[in-house]
Structure 1
Amino acid sequence: MSSVPFHYVDLRTFCYATEDEKRVEEALRTFLPEDWELERTESEGHYGDRIVVLSARIENADDVRHVLSQVATLDDIDDVRAELDDRVDDNCSFFLTFDKQAAFGGEVRRGDGITLRAKVEAYPAKREKAVANARELLDEL
């Protein structure tokens, strides 16, 4: 994986009032390079409950490679390749979600809880070109 066809990768998860924030942070760190600084934003739910949004934007190519190396450990990476047409939007963004509970245990598995959004390089910026670039990258994983 010499070049990385992503401008950046955003990772985000929510920590609800019933969850331990340190554990949720640890789950998100499963995907991040060591000592990565997280952005923390507090919000409020519909009934006034606390919601903390933890996020990270990875822009450096080496750090993006680290995130992608974690994604590559998915058991069903072939399914992700097959679903690429549905996972890249018209803005050339690639979306994938991961199981937050599994990530807390250090396992990378698709599910709900952690969202990955990667801006795919595409010149010209067309969805079809972005899908082709993402497919080429996933074939290298």
Structure 2
Amino acid sequence: MSEIKFLSIRFRAFAQATEIEERVLAAMKFASGTEEVNVTATTGHFGNPITVFETELLKAGQIKNFLGRLAEAHIPENLIGQEEERVDEECAFHFRLDKQKAYLEELALASGRDVIDVRLKVGVYPARREAAVAAIKEWLAD
């Protein structure tokens, strides 16, 4: 993989009332590689309880470890050609991991709606979307 600077990696998952929160927490811990997960209770549009799980990797070692795990799971190669639609105006690269597979301790891209959202903040200067897309293309192609 090409050297790329990611400033942070954020993870977010939701647990609906029908889900077992401990399993979602376990999936988040596995996916992110950290034990530090913030858990927030909220309610949906119709008053249904929803639990939000969030964490963020900021340390270089944590980020490097996560990127290595992505490479081992062959996830970057499956994102080639999708850089334009996955990079936002804030220079963040987005993809979703399968929450059920993460609970089973496997990293895999999600194909359904039961996901862990992953947001990688790309460190490019000046911070322009085009520069972030180019950096992601180079990283994925390597």
Residue 127 of structure 1, CA deviation:
1.0
Q: Give the equivalent residue in structure 2 for 1:19.
A: 19
CA distance in 1, matches of 2:37, 2:2: 27
User: 2:43, 2:49 within 8 Å by CA — same for their partners in 1?
Assistant: yes
Residue 4 of structure 1, CA deviation:
4.5
In the superposition, the TM-score normalised over structure 1's length comes to 0.88
Q: Give the equivalent residue in structure 1 for 2:93.
A: 94
Amino acid in the other structure paired with 1:13: A
The answer to which of 67-76 and 78-87 deviates more is 67-76
Give a deviation string over 1:78-116, Cα, whole Å, max 9, x none.
Answer: 230221111111210100001111111111111141000
Q: Give the equivalent residue in structure 1 for 2:135.
A: 133
Q: Give the equivalent residue in structure 2 for 1:7.
A: 7
The size of the alignment, in residue pairs, is 139
Q: Give the equivalent residue in structure 1 for 2:68.
A: 69
In the superposition, the TM-score normalised over structure 2's length comes to 0.87
CA distance in 2, matches of 1:91, 1:53: 23
Residue 29 of structure 1, CA deviation:
1.4
User: 1:13, 1:55 within 8 Å by CA — same for their partners in 2?
Assistant: yes
What's the secondary structure of 1:95's corresponding residue? strand
Residue 74 of structure 1, CA deviation:
3.5
What's the secondary structure of 2:32's corresponding residue? coil
Instruction: Report % sequence identity.
Output: 33
Unaligned runs of 5+ in 2: none
User: 2:93, 2:121 within 8 Å by CA — same for their partners in 1?
Assistant: yes
| Cα 1:100–1:65 shift into 2, 3 Å | same
Amino acid in the other structure paired with 2:70: V
Residue 137 of structure 1, CA deviation:
2.9
Coordinate RMSD, CA, aligned: 1.9
CA distance in 1, matches of 2:125, 2:22: 40
Residue 15 of structure 1, CA deviation:
0.9
Amino acid in the other structure paired with 1:124: P
CA distance in 2, matches of 1:2, 1:8: 17
